[in-house]
Amino acid sequence: MSDIEIPESHPRYQSLLTRHRIEEGVENGITSKQGLIAQGRGEAFDYLLGERTIPSADEAERVAAAYLLLADHPVISVNGNVAALCPEEMVELAEAVGADLEVNLFNRTDERMEAIVSHLREHGAEEVKGLTADGRIPGLDHERAKVDSDGIGSADVVVVPLEDGDRAEALGEMGKTELVIDLNPMSRSAQTATVPIVDNVIRALPNMTKHARDLNGASREELEAIIDAFDAEAALEAAERAIRGGDID
Ligand code: PTJ
Most distant CA pair in the chain, distance: 50
Instruction: Give nearest CA residue, ligand 1 atom 7.
Output: 35
To the question of whether residue 184 is assigned a binding role by annotation, the answer is: yes
Q: Please check whether residue 228 lies inside any domain of the structure.
A: yes
Half-sphere exposure of 175 (CA within 13 A, CB side): 3
Confidence band, pLDDT 50/70/90 cuts, at residue 249: low
Q: Please check whether residue 85 lies inside any domain of the structure.
A: yes
Q: Structural domain tally of the chain?
A: 1
> What is the Å distance from ligand 1's center to 220 Cα?
33
Q: E strands along 142-205, which residues?
A: 146-147, 157-161, 177-181, 195-197
Pocket of ligand 1 (CB under 6 A): 32, 34-35, 38-39, 41-42, 45, 79-81, 85, 105-107, 162-164, 181-184, 187, 200-201
Confidence band, pLDDT 50/70/90 cuts, at residue 49: very high
Q: Please check whether residue 45 lies inside any domain of the structure.
A: no
Q: Who has greater pLDDT, 225 or 3? A: 225
To the question of whether residue 41 is assigned a binding role by annotation, the answer is: yes
Q: Please check whether residue 227 lies inside any domain of the structure.
A: yes
Q: Please check whether residue 33 lies inside any domain of the structure.
A: no
pTM: 0.95
> What is the Å distance from ligand 1's center to 176 Cα?
20
pLDDT tens digit sequence for 79-116: 999 999 999 999 999 999 999 999 999 999 999 999 99
Q: Please check whether residue 86 lies inside any domain of the structure.
A: yes
Q: Please check whether residue 109 lies inside any domain of the structure.
A: yes
Return the pLDDT at 1.
Answer: 44
Q: Are 246 and 237 in contact (CB under 8 A)?
A: no
- CATH number of domain containing 201: 3.40.50.12640
pLDDT tens digit sequence for 146-202: 999 999 999 999 999 998 788 888 999 999 999 999 999 999 999 999 999 999 999
> What is the Å distance from ligand 1's center to 165 Cα?
10
What's the domain range around 66? 55-242
Q: Are 248 and 55 in contact (CB under 8 A)?
A: yes
Q: Are 111 and 84 in contact (CB under 8 A)?
A: no
> How do strand 135-136 and strand 157-161 relate by DSSP bridges?
unpaired
> What is the Å distance from ligand 1's center to 82 Cα?
9
The residue whose CB lies within 8 Å of the most ligand 1 atoms, and thus the one to mutate among 15, 160, 162, is 162
Q: Are 64 and 201 in contact (CB under 8 A)?
A: no
Instruction: Give nearest CA residue, ligand 1 atom 34.
Output: 200
To the question of whether residue 128 is assigned a binding role by annotation, the answer is: no
> What is the Å distance from ligand 1's center to 213 Cα?
27
Q: Please check whether residue 24 lies inside any domain of the structure.
A: no
